[in-house]
Structure 1
Amino acid sequence: MALFREVADLAETLAAEPGRLKKRAAIAKAIAAVHAAAPESDDAGLFALYLSGTPFAEADPRKLNAGGALLTKALLSVSGATSAALHAAYKRHGDLGAAAFDLLHDREQGSRIRDQALALDEVATAFAAMVTAKTTAARAALVEGLLRRATPLEAKYLLKLMSGDMRIGVKQSLVEEAIAVAAEAPVAEVRNAVMLEADLASALRRAFAGTLAEARMRLFHPLGFMLASPVDSPEEAAERFANKQNAASVEAFLEDKYDGMRAQVHCGDAEQPGRVTIYSRNREDVTESFPDLAEAFAQVREPLIFDGEILGWDIKAGRALPFAVLGQRIGRKRVSNEWRQQVPVVFIAFDLMYAGGELLLNLPLGERRNRLEAAAERLVEKLRSPLTVDERKSAAQTAMFMQPDGEGVERMILSPARLVQSAEDIERAYADARARANEGVMLKAAASEYQPGRRGLAWVKLKRELATLDVVVTGAELGHGKRAGILSDYTFAVRSADSELLNVGKAYSGLTDAEIAEMSAWMMEHTLEDQGYFRTVEPLMVLEVAFNNIMRSNRHASGFALRFPRIIRIRTDKPVSEIDTVERVEEIYQSQVDKPVENATSH
């Protein structure tokens, strides 16, 4: 029987260890020991999963539904501490788990239930119960039950695990490497099994059993999205993809860059006819917000995974609607006929990730594009759905009685792509894309493989708008005047090289009154520290902000301050792991023609 204490002890050791190889060796040793002690149990799989910072496998759609407010309340109840003491502890560490360690360390040991140490399978049982709990009080009681049995160190890492932020310098990729070392298996095979089945614990079992080669792709779990790097000019883009034998020739596909919501569509599973799942870039299931797309893809009878962009669509004009219009549908749990008509949507497909029973990620883009075009041709008459439906019927009934082929709104459009010739060609294409109300252009190396989760140089994007940054909100303060009593002034941060969040500015303009009210309610629910006028909030809400310029400043931890920042939009489609970095801020700063002249001793 493996104990959660073993996870906590190792996590504390890893947090203090800077060396990656030493971290991997320690994880591998611990996994091997847990597996050897109980090879038939799930202990080693849970150990690896929890150490990587996730309560459930990636393929498992369950959520703990335990926000910062719930966890804070449970900690206060168990520790008996005052809110002031919690605020002080949180201020010292900026982390609820570390604050819990301080508060519980001096707690009377007799208050802890000592009949049995906390086992990994008991933690798993409590997590499962939290998912199905019907009330917040029931979930809080389960959290309190775990904390009352936990030592201060166990409580620290239980809270870190439940909040999704272990902060021990360990990513899943490192745990995958450690599994390979522990089981003496090729790391490439471990990673492939994780990608195919989206289950780290399953890959661990396969690694020790020698069955990694038997892992098979399953639909309905999100694969990582390939990302693009920014370029500043057509000349820079052309240089990236110049033919080595003929510098005047460029070997890249050119497409419009759409201002929509990046999405991945899974459909056509023979064992689950009609099932469709749409995933956002932060790997959340957003299908319920786009039933009109789901109805269309429910007609597919071959297993496929498409990569593309969801756009609000002006059907008459045949062009994209602004993202602000599409944003009104994102996150809606019920999409009425009124919304379907007001903001029609289409899926712009630009890649095919899975078809014919195999992943296509290792194929060159040119081959994937050929297969995408062939699939689109086969499905062109099927991927349609009506503008309105009988709202008395379920989505399944709607899909079952869909209109005949060729009727309804065309819901999948193939992104036009062509081989680009030169920087001048890119310049003209950019102007044409902007005329179509799209953001700019994308260039993708014709021979590039699809690299999930990677932002390399094989794909680049050209946008020449005023510079913007994707940031995460770390705090909010009460507004004034008509915004009195509403959290409306947002402090936000970028990432450092080691993923630490560093504040870079504050903004209060750019959102509508309705968006501000929704943001305020969300932040009240996700408050970590309440200082009265100011609240530290869970760093989960991503914003895109624009600004006039960047200045060096000691006011913020990043060393920079944005001048006249304003919010462009709420990025519900983007995970915190993909916000911009301090390095990106530095790049923008250095690109400014009006930046102050720096001498050799300046920062």
Structure 2
Amino acid sequence: MMDFEKLVQVYEELEKTASGNKIREVLAEFFKQVPKDDVQIVAYLTLGKIASDYEDVVLGMAEKSVLKAITVASGQESSKVNKLMQKSGDVGLTAEEVMKNKPRTLVPLGKLTIHELFEKLHKMASSSGAGSQDLKTNLLAGLLQKSSATGAKYITRIALGTLRMGVGDMTVLDALAIAYTGDKSNKDVLEQAYNICPDIGIIAETLAKKGLNEVKKVDVYVGRPIKMMLGQRVKSLEEAQKKIPGEVTVEAKYDGERIQAHKNNKGKVTLFSRRLDNITKQFPDLVKHLEKAIQEKDYIVEGEIIAVDKKGVPQPFQVLMQRRRKNDIEAYIEKIPINFKVFDLLYLNGKSWMDQPYFKRSKELGKMIKKDSEVMLTERILTDNVEEINVFFHKMLNKGYEGIFIKSRAEDSVYQAGVRGWNWIKWKKEYVKEMVDTFDLVIVGAFYGKGRRSGNYGALLCATYNKKQDQFETFCKLGTGLTDETLEELPKMLKKYTLDKKPVRLNAKKEMEADVWFEPAIVVEVFGAEITKSPFHTCASGLALRFPRFIRFRDDKDAEQATTSKEIEQMFEK
């Protein structure tokens, strides 16, 4: 079993590294030394996690509880610990400093292994109810006592969910490809498997123990989310017709939240968000609706959940977001009813449908859904006529929807997990205004405000994601559209992600040196006038968004699901 200290040494090296390529090299060399039975745990811990996001394993420790654990483990006065915390502003650094002088125990505690750390962290995550906070604090204190002072720094950060190494899922896949196949290009094989099985531990262990050919065989498993397929953008409906010639399915695009619904052969229904979070508890009414509407033994379907009023009229996305809560769920079921607009079938009765063309998936989906007032197919037409598409588009806008999706009905219109391909094209109302589409950008930095905004952040530095390079590239400074209330909330919202230097995976020029840097995590939807060339921004080698305006936070997306630099480049070239 691997000692945790070996992983600590790698953490230390990663924390000092400012190059993405160097991070991959360090990780690849480390994975070569990791015993195969430990690879799964190491893959999770490298990302500062103890499970995949979809497993809904949350440590749930507050800063106050972690500081209490440091106090217990060190035997120091809580006032001294709190004073050091105020000075450093970082729980990890506080733990490291305090634990340099930890008390000796009568019986040697032995070395902390990654297995013990992993097991205790899971025990902390699973404890709930009366006395659970004390149990978590004591378990954490025990881990801190067994680790070195430097190890304590990282354990506390993992407990808080703030292990910020600049390492993302794609970074780990790169490192695994290099370590176990000797060829970075095999990352493509790992990524294809990861899109179907978004669990870094399973991919790592399969590769280490069984090799690349077994990774290629990774298949769909009901109850484990599949990365969602995405649509491309075009400048005109005529261009859409060139990209997808012939008859197409045209569907409504809603102002809601995309959901992947799984039902296993034991009858359990699980709901996953676009971020692959398990959100079943937030929508128990949808679970009941699906149990009535789809009677099949097991399935995976995708659709959009939208808020409606008592008369069934669609409500804005912000209204639906009130349903994303831990408390008062039953009250909000009454207050904000929902509809589920279903548009795709990925799995049915023991068989994957992802390799079937869209028209077959769609036809089967229509047969599956029983008439239900809350679950129904998306509004749609079949046509090869641009004018008919345009008429349907305006009809959907009049209903309060966002626009339409144009979908290929060709034999090769398979479901491409995690891919933004040309089988689907989206067409939104922003296009008609002859303005740029909205963008989902990642907050990577902030600038302090002046005048009325002094004391708060006055503007945010926002970036796109370059998937090929696994890095973020600056695209705009965002200040317009941020209300005083939003500006006041931002420091609290971003505190968890604050860094003392530029994020490792961020490509930014010195002209865009932010006052405060953040780990790429929070996504915002932004509207703009046009894309222009810029000597100051790094998106697609120098593109920027003019007159950006904040629209809303995209809690349903993570950083790697932001608009890509390639998309921006394609839009600029048209």
Q: Secondary structure at the match of 1:320?
A: coil
Farther-moved stretch of structure 1 (224-233 vs 281-290): 281-290
Are the counterparts in 2 of residues 277 and 285 from structure 1 also a CA contact under 8 Å? Answer: yes
| Cα deviation code 1:133-165 (max 9, x no counterpart) | 556676566556545623637845873794364
Q: Give the letter aligned to residue 481 of structure 2.
A: S
Count of residues in Structure 1 that have an aligned counterpart in Structure 2: 522
Q: CA deviation at 1:116?
A: 3.5
Residue in structure 1 matched with residue 441 of structure 2 by the alignment: 471
Q: CA deviation at 1:368?
A: 1.3
Q: Give the letter aligned to residue 415 of structure 1.
A: T
Residue in structure 2 matched with residue 448 of structure 1 by the alignment: 413
Task: Give the TM-score taking structure 1 as reference length.
Answer: 0.70
Give the distance between the partners of 2:142 and 2:519, measured in 1 at CA. Answer: 23
Residue in structure 2 matched with residue 373 of structure 1 by the alignment: 366
Q: CA deviation at 1:345?
A: 0.7
Task: Give the TM-score taking structure 2 as reference length.
Answer: 0.73
Q: CA deviation at 1:260?
A: 0.9
Are the counterparts in 1 of residues 341 and 377 from structure 2 also a CA contact under 8 Å? Answer: yes
Among 477, 493, 505, which residue is 2:462 paired with?
493
Residue in structure 2 matched with residue 406 of structure 1 by the alignment: none
Give the distance between the partners of 1:350 and 1:294, measured in 2 at CA. Answer: 17
Give the distance between the partners of 2:559 and 2:419, measured in 1 at CA. Answer: 15
Among 423, 431, 438, which residue is 1:458 paired with?
423
Residue in structure 2 matched with residue 246 of structure 1 by the alignment: none
Give the distance between the partners of 2:199 and 2:572, measured in 1 at CA. Answer: 41
Q: Secondary structure at the match of 1:298?
A: helix
Give the distance between the partners of 1:541 and 1:136, measured in 2 at CA. Answer: 28
Residue in structure 2 matched with residue 568 of structure 1 by the alignment: 551
Residue in structure 2 matched with residue 163 of structure 1 by the alignment: 162
Q: CA deviation at 1:362?
A: 1.8
| Cα deviation code 1:520-542 (max 9, x no counterpart) | 7645677667xxxx976665332
Give the distance between the partners of 1:10 and 1:511, measured in 2 at CA. Answer: 42
Q: Give the letter aligned to residue 353 of structure 2.
A: L
Residue in structure 2 matched with residue 86 of structure 1 by the alignment: 88
Q: CA deviation at 1:442?
A: 1.1
Q: Return 5+ residue gaps in structure 2 as ranges.
A: 75-79, 501-514
Answering whether residue 48 of structure 2 is matched by residue 49 of structure 1, we say no
Q: CA deviation at 1:46?
A: 1.3
Q: CA deviation at 1:461?
A: 1.0
| Cα deviation code 1:218-258 (max 9, x no counterpart) | 4322221111122121122111113xxxxxxx253221221
| Cα deviation code 1:397-455 (max 9, x no counterpart) | xxxxxxxxxxxxx1111013444314444333322322222222212222322122221
Give the distance between the partners of 2:362 and 2:156, measured in 1 at CA. Answer: 45
Residue in structure 1 matched with residue 508 of structure 2 by the alignment: none
Q: CA deviation at 1:347?
A: 0.6
Q: CA deviation at 1:373?
A: 1.3
Percent sequence identity over aligned pairs: 24
Q: Secondary structure at the match of 1:18?
A: helix
Q: Secondary structure at the match of 1:413?
A: strand
Alignment of 1:150-299 (within 5 A): 150=148, 152=150, 155=153, 159=157, 162-163=161-162, 165-168=164-167, 171=170, 172-174=172-174, 177=177, 181=181, 199-202=199-202, 208=209, 217-242=220-245, 250-267=246-263, 269-271=264-266, 273=267, 275-299=268-292
Judging changes above 3 Å, is the alpha-carbon distance between structure 1 residues 155 and 189 closer, same or farther for their aligned structure 2 residues?
Answer: same
Q: Secondary structure at the match of 1:279?
A: strand
Give the distance between the partners of 2:153 and 2:531, measured in 1 at CA. Answer: 41
Q: Secondary structure at the match of 1:54?
A: coil
Judging changes above 3 Å, is the alpha-carbon distance between structure 1 residues 214 and 562 closer, same or farther for their aligned structure 2 residues?
Answer: closer
Are the counterparts in 2 of residues 505 and 556 from structure 1 also a CA contact under 8 Å? Answer: no
Q: Return 5+ residue gaps in structure 1 as ranges.
A: 36-41, 91-95, 243-249, 385-409, 592-603
Are the counterparts in 2 of residues 542 and 576 from structure 1 also a CA contact under 8 Å? Answer: yes
Answering whether residue 405 of structure 2 is matched by residue 435 of structure 1, we say no
Among 108, 111, 122, which residue is 2:116 paired with?
122
Q: Secondary structure at the match of 1:127?
A: helix
Judging changes above 3 Å, is the alpha-carbon distance between structure 1 residues 367 and 571 closer, same or farther for their aligned structure 2 residues?
Answer: same
Q: Secondary structure at the match of 1:500?
A: strand
Farther-moved stretch of structure 1 (559-568 vs 574-583): 559-568
Are the counterparts in 2 of residues 491 and 503 from structure 1 also a CA contact under 8 Å? Answer: no
Judging changes above 3 Å, is the alpha-carbon distance between structure 1 residues 305 and 511 closer, same or farther for their aligned structure 2 residues?
Answer: farther
* RMSD of aligned alpha carbons: 4.8
Residue in structure 1 matched with residue 324 of structure 2 by the alignment: 330
Residue in structure 2 matched with residue 394 of structure 1 by the alignment: none
Are the counterparts in 2 of residues 232 and 463 from structure 1 also a CA contact under 8 Å? Answer: no
| Cα deviation code 1:312-357 (max 9, x no counterpart) | 12563x55222233233233533345x4454321111000111111
Q: CA deviation at 1:307?
A: 0.6
Alignment of 1:354-369 (within 5 A): 354-369=347-362
Q: Give the letter aligned to residue 309 of structure 1.
A: E
Judging changes above 3 Å, is the alpha-carbon distance between structure 1 residues 494 and 200 closer, same or farther for their aligned structure 2 residues?
Answer: closer
Q: Give the letter aligned to residue 443 of structure 1.
A: I
